Structure 1
Amino acid sequence: MSDDDFRRVEAHDCPMTSCSAPAGSPCRTGKGKVAVQYHTARFRLVPSLAKTLSVATPPVRKPGSLWVELPRPPAAGAEPAGRMRIGYARASTVRQSLDTQLDALKAARVARVFAEKISTRAVVRPELERAVALAAEMRASGLAVTLVVHEHKRLGRGIELAALAEQLRAADIGLEFLSGELQGSHDPTGIVFTVLAALSGMEREYIRDRTLEGHESARTRGKTIGGATVTDEAMLSMALHLRGQNLSLRDIAARLVITRGKKKGQHPSPATVLRMLREHDEIARASAVQGS
């Protein structure tokens, strides 16, 4: 299942007479509430979801709340109903100031600014996620939306930046950098998005190849690859719970305790926590793909 599945479902009117939600709006219950799941007759209009058992209504649609008809999505090739610029600012530490970024965004006349002080290494960046969610919702309503950032490094580096670019391109959201090497406005179909996607794949391949080479070099010297496993299901469960509270990797690691082996009683490293969460996310994505 994809994060954008609900948009594919909402590209169609709901054929259920008890719902009849128009394109662009979530399904509704007989009591006039937003349905928790889209009606089967509706999501089966999407070929890629035809065999899916259910498609959940995402939090952005507020399941269980009073149903309100939303604007229909723009027709392909149609002119946007208007334009909106959403700003994002980030500093890596609490001591760093956001003033320069905020002043630049204000001068760029963005409609709303999301700002936070959080490390680039953080798995979850709440304000960035809110900015992207709002941008996607505004784009779905027919507005042409651009995410404006002071410099590309504020969004991340390497794979993280490329993954975000792919997310924005899928939602047809533009990107603008006010300074730095990528300064300027970039259309979702433009070369910058394409290059970032390509770099993402290249960087993954490079990291994988260098890792394998390092392992092989270590083996030829008689070194053992890897060590005793310090993670377990209980630790993973607690780490997922803490991640849901938007804690940094360092804070999550500080709250976990190794329960076995030579390091029993110690805290795992942030790198160990990151690897454990990434492995869980990869397995979850693979299972979702197989089930779709």
Structure 2
Amino acid sequence: MTKVGYARVSTREQNLDRQIDALNREHVSRIFAEKRSGKNTERPELHKMLDYIHDDDEVVVVALDRLGRSAADLTHIINTITQKGATLDILNLPSFKDVQDKNLRVMLTNLTMEIYKYIAQEEREAINERQAEGIAAARARGAYVGKKPQYVPDSPDRHNRYIYEQAVKMLTEPKPRPKTQIARTLGISRTTLYKISSSLT
């Protein structure tokens, strides 16, 4: 059996050290880590981890929301782990490792995960609802100006300016590569690349 860790934070400004330290305390053999939003389906390290695991491996994450944010996304990922013959250990959820009956242990683990998936989904929907209400109120006051694009030529973040410049360079080549390939190369979503592309016209 191999213990495999997965760590994720949502933005480049956030730090992975706390999660990685927690995974190392669990004596994982390999850690897949990335800085990607949980809403982003293009998470290369997650997909590498899912390709890497085999029968009897154990996937360890600090919290369930590190795997995904929506119930549907979490269900898909957990089912993939199960289909590969591996198990999942969520460090901030109750552990049933001391339960001797394997079937009972699996049932209790699955029940706990379903409850927490539901809670995570409810929290995400509540956050989205509060954001929508805040935007509506700001628009009513004439104070809403929208979210400033992250990848723009005058971004205060040097890395974001570099990504923008590289995207423009690749998009304006005589024979540009497919946008999906460009987005994957730069580590950004296709939606972000399409926004950069539309700003050039």
TM-score (norm 2): 0.56
What number of residue pairs does the alignment pair up? 135
Question: Which residue identity is paired with 1:173?
Answer: A
Q: 1:244 to 1:185 in 2, by over 3 A?
A: farther
Instruction: State how 1:60-209 maps to structure 2 within 5 Å.
Output: 83-136=1-54, 139=55, 144-157=56-69, 158-179=71-92, 182-184=93-95, 190-193=107-110, 196=114
Residue 248 of structure 1, aligned match among 169, 189, 198 = 189
* Structure number having the greater helix percentage: 2
SS in 2 for 1:184: coil
Q: Secondary structure at the match of 1:88?
A: strand
**Per the alignment, do residues 249 and 240 of structure 1 end up closer, same or farther by CA in structure 2, a change over 3 Å counting?**
closer
Q: 1:171 to 1:253 in 2, by over 3 A?
A: same
Q: Is the 8 A contact 1:122 1:249 kept in 2?
A: no
Contact 1:166 1:193 in 2 (8 A): no
Distance 1:185 1:104, change over 3 A: farther
Q: Conserved in 1, the CA contact under 8 Å of 2:38 and 2:68?
A: yes
Task: Determine the C-alpha separation between the residues in 1 that align with 2:193 and 2:17.
Answer: 29
**Does the CA contact (< 8 Å) of 2:36 and 2:43 recur in 1?**
yes
Name the SS of the counterpart of 1:123 in structure 2: coil
Decide whether the 8 Å contact of 2:19 with 2:62 is kept in 1. Answer: yes
Larger Rg: 1
Alignment partner, residue 69 of structure 1: none
- Tell me the distance in 2 between the aligned counterparts of 1:185 and 1:135: 22
Alpha-carbon spacing, 1:104–1:255, altered in 2? closer, same or farther (3 Å): same
SS of the aligned residue for 2:180 comes to helix
**Matched position secondary structure for 2:45:** helix
Counterpart AA for 1:171: K
Partner of 1:257: 198
User: 1:124 & 1:247 partners in 2: Cα distance?
Assistant: 8
Give me the whole-angstrom Cα distance separating, in 2, the residues matched to 1:256 and 1:192: 46
Give me the TM-score of the superposition, normalised by structure 1: 0.40
C-alpha separation between the residues in 1 aligned to 2:11 and 2:96? 28
Answer whether contact 2:5 2:60 (CA < 8 A) is retained. yes
Residue 4 of structure 2 aligns with an amino acid whose one-letter code is I
Paired residue secondary structure (1:124)? coil
Aligned-partner SS, 1:147: strand
Does the 8 Å contact 1:165/1:193 carry over to 2?
A: no
Gap runs ≥5 in structure 2: 126-176
| 2-structure distance, mates of 1:243, 1:184 | 39
Q: Which has the higher contact order (CA 8 A, sep 6+)?
A: 2
State the one-letter code of the partner of 1:253.
Y
Distance in 2 between residues matched to 1:191 and 1:160, nearest whole Å: 21
The answer to which of 123-132 and 245-254 deviates more is: 245-254
CA distance in 2, matches of 1:254, 1:183: 43
CA gap 1:117/1:100 in 2 versus in 1, 3 angstroms: same
Unaligned runs of 5+ in 1: 1-82, 208-236, 259-264, 266-292
